[in-house]
Structure 1
Amino acid sequence: MKPLRIAHLYPRDLNVYGDLGNVITLRKRLEWRGFRTEVTAVEPGIPFDFSAVDLLFGGGGQNSGQSALVDDLLERGDALRRISAEGVPMLLICGSYQLFGREFAAAGRRYPGLGIFRATTTVRRQRMIGNIVVDSRFGQLVGFENHSGRTVLDPGQQSLGTVRQGFGNNGRTGDEGAVTGNTIGTYLHGPVLPKNPALADHLLLQAVRRRYDVDVLKPLDDELALRAATVAAARPQGRAVSIRPRRRRLHRLGAALRGL
């Protein structure tokens, strides 16, 4: 049996808040079921054959890092849109999620995205930070969000779920993430998959179904994962934090220390 192939999109630039743990989770849940895996990094400027990919993951990053990757990502756009349309499962977190939308605006500039999600993102001064709970078709999802981007879905674009606690896409419309076929975007860090095994297994089932014609995954003992999710869901909600006032407070603190 050939290994199931996972592509990790820009791991050096898009890997914050434990996002690498999602790739580890995907690998281990496959290995526990007897499947072999092969994870390959997709790095800027290095050719990559997406036609051989069974599952793709992209994490989050700083706004500056996202901006630097736009040109390289757009060059790969046709291949990524093609495999998304073919049903290759993808999980995009935060920054990657934003870049897979139609447009990403930051620091007075607008950057085109891949358009797989019919959504636009605009960076604001306040960051939305804290624990988040989402009702979805995969059950209750829990995670941690930390983003200044406000993502607005176009009419008709399916969301990942509805926010029960936290901010979600923009803190206003009550939706979180986006789903186009088997391509899923979300702001949930944490990493998200260890505490949400149903979401992990959804992605894996789509991958093994396409690769091996397998329709059922062997059940795993997820007691600890579900207990961790319960604890995380009970934690206090986060808050919106203004970046500029925080900087002013730091400047005042520095001035006070210099005066000692």
Structure 2
Amino acid sequence: MVSAAGTTGETPRELVIVSLYPRDMNIYGDRGNVLALERRARAHGFAPRVVEVNPGDPFPETVDLVVGGGGQDSGQGRVAADLVARRDAIRALAEDGVPMLMVCGLYQLFGHRFITHTGEELAGIGVLDVETRGGTERMIGNIVLDTAEFGEIIGYENHSGNTTLGPGSTPLGTVLQGAGNNPSDGVEGARTGNVIGSYLHGSLLPKNPALSDFLIGEAARRRYGAFEPRAELGETVLQARASAKRRPR
């Protein structure tokens, strides 16, 4: 019988968090997502270990959670070939239930392809059933989503990519304030299994601990068979969410 992590007197259990391409894909504060996962995992009684993986670096033997951020088109170009070379390994992890969060640029590359505004095509790895085309309209500002599983999600978007979803992915949420995946669909992000893609920066996770808890919980259940939440919502988080929600676009 597997006991829940975080039980009193239990040695903290390791969770290996892969930070994917932080050298090139770390814009608009996306490293804050890694820091939030570290802190939240500790609060739940785990011992997080972050492994940075840049182009050419090996993945660790054990992977519990993967998180990646956004970057400029030039940054995407630098990591795209390396990501495609890892396609089979990453898809195998995703199919095995490893939770992943990909923001903005890596959200696009986790889809089938990204066609830049100049017409250059960057191949994706197809973990998410999405496709993105660069547009002329920039979608920028505070954004609020309604989700069935995580309640309201609050973040900041800054992108000109127009992402559309295929039948293999569902939206992360419905847009209450902001643009989302594109100017017309009224939804934001994509999810296939435990893999989530989103345009929300800000950083996303510090203001949305329910999303952090989902990622940590799925990682713990996959590795240890159980997850016993221990962390509570702090007043600072609640104030940050309220402040971000009040700010105009």
Runs (5+) with no aligned partner, structure 2: 1-10
Match of 1:191 among 203, 207, 210: 203
Partners in 2 of 1:163 and 1:189 — Cα distance?
15
Work out whether residues 143 and 191 of structure 1, in 8 Å CA contact, stay in contact via their aligned partners in 2. Answer: yes
Match of 2:121 among 83, 93, 110: 110
- Cross-structure match for 2:157: 145
Q: What is the CA distance between 1:204 and its match in structure 2?
A: 0.6
Matches within 5 A, 1:27-176: 27-49=38-60, 52-106=62-116, 107-136=118-147, 137-155=149-167, 157-176=169-188
Work out whether residues 122 and 150 of structure 1, in 8 Å CA contact, stay in contact via their aligned partners in 2. Answer: yes
- Cross-structure match for 1:182: 194
Work out whether residues 102 and 117 of structure 1, in 8 Å CA contact, stay in contact via their aligned partners in 2. Answer: yes
Partners in 2 of 1:98 and 1:28 — Cα distance?
27
Residue 10 of structure 1 pairs with residue 21 of structure 2: yes
Structure number with higher relative contact order (C-alpha < 8 Å, ≥ 6 residues apart): 2
Partners in 1 of 2:168 and 2:54 — Cα distance?
33
- Cross-structure match for 1:253: none
Residue 20 of structure 1 pairs with residue 31 of structure 2: yes
Partners in 2 of 1:219 and 1:41 — Cα distance?
25
More helix by share: 1
Partners in 1 of 2:185 and 2:156 — Cα distance?
18
Q: What is the CA distance between 1:52 and its match in structure 2?
A: 1.2
Any idea what SS the aligned residue of 1:52 has? coil
Q: What is the CA distance between 1:156 and its match in structure 2?
A: 5.0
User: Which shows bigger deviation, 186-195 or 102-111?
Assistant: 102-111
User: Which amino acid is the alignment partner of residue 179 of structure 1?
Assistant: R
1:77-118 deviations in Å (ceiling 9; x for gaps): 000000001110000000010000011001211121111111
Any idea what SS the aligned residue of 1:79 has? helix
Q: TM-score, normalised by structure 2?
A: 0.91
User: Which amino acid is the alignment partner of residue 210 of structure 1?
Assistant: R
Partners in 2 of 1:33 and 1:207 — Cα distance?
12
Runs (5+) with no aligned partner, structure 1: 238-260
User: Which amino acid is the alignment partner of residue 89 of structure 2?
Assistant: A
Matches within 5 A, 1:181-260: 181-237=193-249
Work out whether residues 197 and 222 of structure 1, in 8 Å CA contact, stay in contact via their aligned partners in 2. Answer: no
Work out whether residues 119 and 151 of structure 1, in 8 Å CA contact, stay in contact via their aligned partners in 2. Answer: yes
- Asked which structure has the greater CA Rg, the reply is 1
Q: What is the CA distance between 1:230 and its match in structure 2?
A: 1.5
Runs ≥4 residues deviating over 4 A: none
Q: What is the CA distance between 1:46 and its match in structure 2?
A: 2.2
Any idea what SS the aligned residue of 1:24 has? helix
User: Which shows bigger deviation, 222-231 or 119-128?
Assistant: 222-231
1:43-92 deviations in Å (ceiling 9; x for gaps): 1122324x510000000000111022111000000000000011100000
Partners in 1 of 2:102 and 2:65 — Cα distance?
11
Q: What is the CA distance between 1:235 and its match in structure 2?
A: 1.2
Identity %: 51
Q: What is the CA distance between 1:140 and its match in structure 2?
A: 0.2
Q: How many residues align?
A: 236
User: Which shows bigger deviation, 33-42 or 17-26?
Assistant: 33-42
